[in-house]
Structure 1
Amino acid sequence: METVLLVALVVAATFATAALSAVAGFGGGVLLLPVFVAVLGTRDAVAVLTVAQLASNGSRVWFNRCEVERRLVGIFAIGAVPAAAAGALLFSTAPLPALTRLIGVFLLIMVVWRRWKPHAARLDDRAFAAVGAASGFSSALVGSVGPMVAPFFLARGLLRGAYIGTEAASAVVMHLTKLVVFGAAAVLTASSAAVGLALAPAGAAGAWAGKRIVDRLPAHLFVLIIEAGLIASGLLLAITGG
């Protein structure tokens, strides 16, 4: 019975955070990560999250496919792909307690960053590729960095479906790179891949539900929910180390 409840909790959390992310444009991955850490442990949690986020972000790309700015995704990928590979290699050998506390501190930093820098200057292509590099490296270590990169996508003038789809497509590039390296380094095992794939329908359904309500409800309410979850989870992981 306990196992059934845990499975139900993880599926529900995957659906809910995917829906939140589809509305607010960010936050699903980082809010879901503490749930996975509690159930699976830190290293498996990041690997499973990567698989689940690939499905969730892929769904958001599909639902907003007509509005994706492909050129911007390509610029982002120039920096993100090699940096994500390097970060994934470092992640595979880092000690687990340190990784767990790093994730906790990072979640808190995300909230502060969002409040301190709700808007970002419009960057040229070279600087945007550098954002991709920083995002790829950080994402490999802490699972997801959506709240920190969101302002840079918004600063390019992307709105609603264009913003959500383009940011999600850029995340897909990072997650694919990480999965290749995680697989080569034996961080992504058959069991963790199976768990992530099993959660894919819940992530896709959440993305679909979020797409249905994105034009009906104010996104700032979802942002507040996400930030409250980040603060609680960040404090727990930073203090206890998982």
Structure 2
Amino acid sequence: MSVDLLLTLLAAALAAFLLALLSAVAGFGGGVLLLPVFTVLFGLRVAVPVLTLAQLSSNGSRVWFNRRELRWRLIGWFALGAVPCAVAGGLLLAHAPLSPLKRVLGVFLIGVVVWRRLRRPPRPPAEPSFAAVGAASGLGSALLGSVGPLTAPFFLALGLTRGAYIGTEAASALTMHFAKIAAYGAGDLLTRQVLLLGAALTPATLLGAWAGKKVVGRISERGFVLLVELGLLAAGALFLAGF
């Protein structure tokens, strides 16, 4: 292994650890922030499927750590929309114009935080409406690697916090990640390089998820929601900046 490749893997592993920790605390954000890092290191067409493989271990560990608080019916409704749209997005990845979609998503994420601050909290959405949330999230995630913040306002509107929010959101995300991997495989995006990188980054994401689980119990509910909103603003700014 060359020195340059080793340094690249170490940088990617450190980023994966730190952002898996963030995901475990806030329930999202790691994937969105990892995408620009992986894009710089590997290029966009490799970064998106590598990120998906890394998210399997990150989300899977968050599901396991919070398994007693999962909302299974909600996960089912989400998967109903997410799986087919994730497959469609995965097959489109090689040809989709990504920059305009990123900027639209950035405006949406920042607008959500402003709306939450200027208006009364929204009424809890009906669980079947999460099929539409899953559809939008599945398509966007397949094209951009991760749009975890897209789902955050809807899960928060149901009053989910801490373990229930983190675990349920992670389980919902897993359904579309598996669908994305199947689509990437069909589109010849799961190359040997992608599979090796995904395997190499798995230990760092697992360790970050474990460390985040130790941190999340020490944050107040108000601080938790504030952390999520700050993550939404950061993710929106990154998308608007074209990352």
Shared fold, TM over 0.5: yes
| TM-score for both structures, normalised by structure 1 | 0.87
1:132 to 125, 128, 134: 134
| 1:81–1:232 distance in 2 versus 1, CA, 3 Å | closer
Query: How many residues were matched structurally?
Result: 235
Matched position secondary structure for 2:125? coil
Q: Which residue of 1 aligns with 2:50?
A: 48
Matched position secondary structure for 2:242? helix
1:219 to 216, 224, 227: 224
Can you give the 5+ residue segments of structure 2 that lack an aligned partner in the other structure? none
1:1-242 map, 5 Å: 1-94=3-96, 98-100=97-99, 102-103=101-102, 106-107=105-106, 109-117=108-116, 120-217=122-219, 218-219=223-224, 222-223=227-228, 226=231, 229-230=234-235, 233-237=238-242
CA–CA separation in structure 1 for the residues paired with 2:85 and 2:239: 24
Matched position secondary structure for 1:78? helix
CA–CA separation in structure 2 for the residues paired with 1:183 and 1:113: 34
CA–CA separation in structure 2 for the residues paired with 1:87 and 1:127: 20
Given that residues 37 and 45 in structure 1 are in contact (C-alpha distance below 8 angstroms), is that contact kept between their aligned partners in structure 2? yes
Please report how far the alpha carbon of residue 100 of structure 1 lies from its aligned counterpart in structure 2 after TM superposition: 4.9
> What residue identity is the alignment partner of 2:165?
Y
User: In angstroms, what is the RMSD of aligned CA positions?
Assistant: 2.2
> What residue identity is the alignment partner of 2:98?
L
Displaced runs of 4+ in structure 1, greater than 6 A? none
CA–CA separation in structure 2 for the residues paired with 1:43 and 1:121: 39
CA–CA separation in structure 1 for the residues paired with 2:218 and 2:180: 35
Matched position secondary structure for 2:53? helix
Please report how far the alpha carbon of residue 233 of structure 1 lies from its aligned counterpart in structure 2 after TM superposition: 3.7
CA–CA separation in structure 2 for the residues paired with 1:215 and 1:101: 38
Can you give the 5+ residue segments of structure 1 that lack an aligned partner in the other structure? none
